[in-house]
Amino acid sequence: MRADAEEPGRGTPVGRRVVLGLLGLGALGVAAGPYLQRAQEAVAGKDPTGLTGLLPGGGGFRYYSVASSVPERTAEDYTLTVDGLVDRPGGYRLADLRAMPQRRIVRDVQCVTGWRVPETPFEGVPLAHLLDAAGVRPGAGAVRFSCFDGVYTESLTLAQARRDDVLVALRMRDEEIAHAHGGPVRLYVAPMYFYKSAKWLSGITVTESVQPGYWERNGYDVDAWVGRSNGRDDAPTA
């Protein structure tokens, strides 16, 4: 045994078997992944301990920010500006927004990277109400959103922006929106992938035509309907 212990070409090709086995498992995992993912989400949905959230690919929101750091804004120093092609440009403090008519919507949240959070309540001022309050001028065709992280931008056509399931959201999951989730004020576009729901919203500008937002300049679809864009086939959220 000792003499041929390292003789090249002898012995069992275990290495090849391990590598091919892993490749096969990988391919199987890709094929079965959608079902396994759904099964994992079903288990996580019924888990009261929240431990399943620690699993890889586990449910729940994930934190995405494109900026290096995002300042905190509170009721004292937060302002939402509305300008562009409007008759009455202006700024709204948090108290002004809270005094406006509110609407609560409960839908699934679907991220373009795959994760989905079921039945998430959002509450806030319908964007259409703010647009009407500002008086959109003839010739306007789109709305651009900017954020106080200083980097992120988003956009909607005027028709999309006027939908009744598009909110300037002040509350999420029946609580004030935490900083990590884009608080104190974020956009909520129920029928679209979640990158449209810009966090840390600070500016609404009415424009002539759509100016693609941050991720849209990096290849994401501007009309980001859930299940009908970005090459994905998720169940629609609205």
In 3D, which of 130, 125, 117, 211 has the Cα closest to residue 173?
Answer: 117
Cβ distance to another protein smaller for residue 34 or 135: 34
What tokens appear for 18 in the block? 């391990």
Site membership for another protein, residue 16 (CB under 8 A): yes
CA–CA dist 152, 215 (Å, integer): 8
* 181/185 Cα distance (integer angstroms): 9
Report d(CA 45, CA 52) in Å as an integer. 9
Residue 92 or 215: the one with the smaller Cβ distance to another protein is 215
Q: Which is nearer to another protein, 56 or 138 (CB)?
A: 56
- Asked whether position 25 contacts another protein by CB under 8 A, the answer is yes
Q: Which of 44, 45, 70, 125 binds another protein (CB under 8 A)?
A: 70
Q: Which is nearer to another protein, 151 or 238 (CB)?
A: 151
Query: Smallest gap, in angstroms, from Cβ of residue 77 to another protein?
Result: 21
Contact 204, 126 (CB under 8 A): no
Minimum gap (Å) between residue 15 Cβ and another protein: 3
**Token pair recorded at residue 179:** 């900083």
With 0-12 / 13-18 / 19 or more C-beta atoms within 10 angstroms meaning exposed / middle / buried, residue 235 is: exposed
Helix (H, G, I), strand (E, B) or coil at 94: helix
Q: How far apart are CA 99 and CA 173, in angstroms?
A: 20
By CB under 8 A, residue 197 contacts another protein: no
- Could you say which of 51, 65, 120, 209 contacts another protein (CB under 8 A)? 65
How far apart are alpha carbons 62 and 153 in whole angstroms?
19
Q: Does 114 bind another protein (CB under 8 A)?
A: yes
Q: Which stretch binds another protein (CB under 8 A): 10-18, 42-50, 76-84, 203-211?
A: 10-18
Per-residue x/- mask for another protein, residues 164 to 183, rule CB under 8 A? ----------------x---
Which residues in this chain contact another protein in the complex, by CB under 8 A? Answer: 1-16, 18-23, 25-26, 29-34, 36-37, 56-57, 62-70, 113-114, 180, 218-219, 230-234
